[in-house]
Amino acid sequence: MTGPVLVTGAAGFIGSTLSERLLASGADVIGVDSFTDNYAPYIKRMNISRLTANPRFRLVEVDLRTAAIDPLLDGVDGVVHLAALPGVRASWGEPFRAYAEHNVVATQRLLEAVRRHPVRRLVAASSSSIYGLPTRFPTPEDEAPRPVSPYGVTKLAGEALFHAYWASYRLPLVGLRYFTVYGPRQRPDMGIHAFFEAAKSGTPVKVYGTGDQTRDFTFVDDAVAATISALTQPAVPGLTYNVGGGHRVSLNDLLARIELVTGRPLERRLVAAPPGDPPDTSADCSRARRDLGYEPKTELTEGLRRQWEWQRRS
C-alpha cells in the first residue's frame, strides 16, 4: 500500500487485530467504528487502546448507515470492510431491521462511495453463514448458498452487492468468507469465549444438541494474514475466497481441548439446538491457497492456549 488503509469495524475483534498488523507493516490506518452496543462498547475501546496511541492511526467514530463516506476515502489506497452486526442467534425477529441496515445498507453506501474514488483494492468480509446447509465438505466457493439464519441472509445480500458493483463498475473488490474465527479479543458472545469464561468461573457450559456438530475454526492471526494478502496480492477482483483454519472438529472435541488447555473440567448441560445454527462447517481453501498464498499456520490447541492466556488475564 502506498497510501493509508481504511478499516471499517476497526475496534472489533478482527478489525483491531488487522489494524495492528497493518501498522506494524508500515501502513497508515484510518479506523472507522460506530461502537454499536451488540456487546459492551468499553471492550471495543480496550481493543483499540494501543492503536489510538500510535500517531499513524486515526480513529473516526461514525455510523456508515448515515455518515458522509466520501471524505473518509480521500487519499486512501485500500479499504477493508469489516463493519457489520454479527451473530446468528440474535438476528431473528425485530432485530433483523438493524442487521439489514448495518450489513446491507451500510455496505451499499460504502460501495457507492468507493466507486467515486481511485481505491486500489477493496476487501470485504462475508461469512461461512451464507452456506447454511452445504452438500459438500470441505465446502468450495461454488456451493449454492442456503443460509438458515437472517444474519446469513444479510451476509449473502452483501455478497450480491459486491458482485453487482464489480460487474457494473469493475470495483477492485475481493470478498472473504471467514469461518468461525477465534483467538485473543474474540467477542464475548462467541462460543469459545463463553467456554473459557465457564472454565474460569466453574459454571456449566451449554452444549447445543449432542455436541457432535462440527466447525472449521480459524485463528485470528490466520484470518488477518489472509485479509492482508487479499489487500496486497494480485487476487482476482470479483472473486470471493473461503478463509478457514483447517480445523474441523466437533464441539465435544473442542471442549476436551479446552479442558486440556485450562486444566479445569467443564460441566456440560445439553440444551436444544437453536434455529439458524448449521450442524457442520468446513472450508475448502484451495482457491485462497492458489491466489492468495493462504496457508493457515495455527494448530487448534495452540490457538486455544493463546486465547486462554489472553482471556484469563482480562
| pTM of the complete model beyond 0.85 | yes
pLDDT in the model for residue 1? 72
Rg (CA), the chain: 19
Tell which residue, 23, 28, 10, has the closest CA to residue 185. Answer: 10
Residues 224-268: pLDDT tens digits? 999 999 999 988 899 999 999 998 999 999 999 999 999 999 999
In a domain, 277, yes or no: no
pLDDT at 277 (0 to 100): 92
Q: Let me know if residue 198 belongs to a domain.
A: no
Give the pLDDT of residue 235.
Answer: 81
Would you state the pLDDT for residue 237?
92
Residue 293 has a pLDDT of 97
Residue 107 lies in a domain: yes
Residue 92 lies in a domain: yes
Residue 35 lies in a domain: yes
Among the listed residues 133, 223, 148, the one whose alpha carbon sits nearest the alpha carbon of residue 180: 223
The per-residue pLDDT for 260 is 98
Phi/psi at 20 (nearest 5 deg)? -60, -45
Is position 194 within any domain?
A: no
**Residue 42 annotated in active site:** no
Please pick, among 99, 131, 151, 165, the residue that the annotation labels catalytic: 151
- In this structure, is residue 40 part of a structural domain? yes
* pLDDT-flagged residues of the chain (< 70): none
Structural domain total, the chain: 1
For residues 61 and 5, the answer to whether their CB atoms sit within 8 Å is: no
Q: C-alpha distances in angstroms, 276 versus 42, 59, 129, 151?
A: 29, 34, 9, 9
Q: What is the 3-state secondary structure (H, E, C) of 106-130?
A: HHHHHHHHHCCCCCCEEEEEEEHHH
* Domain of 55, in residue numbers: 5-180+220-244+283-296
Vertex 183: Cα angle to 177 and 189 (nearest 5): 80
Whether 311 maps to a domain, the answer reads no
Which CATH number is 60's domain given?
3.40.50.720
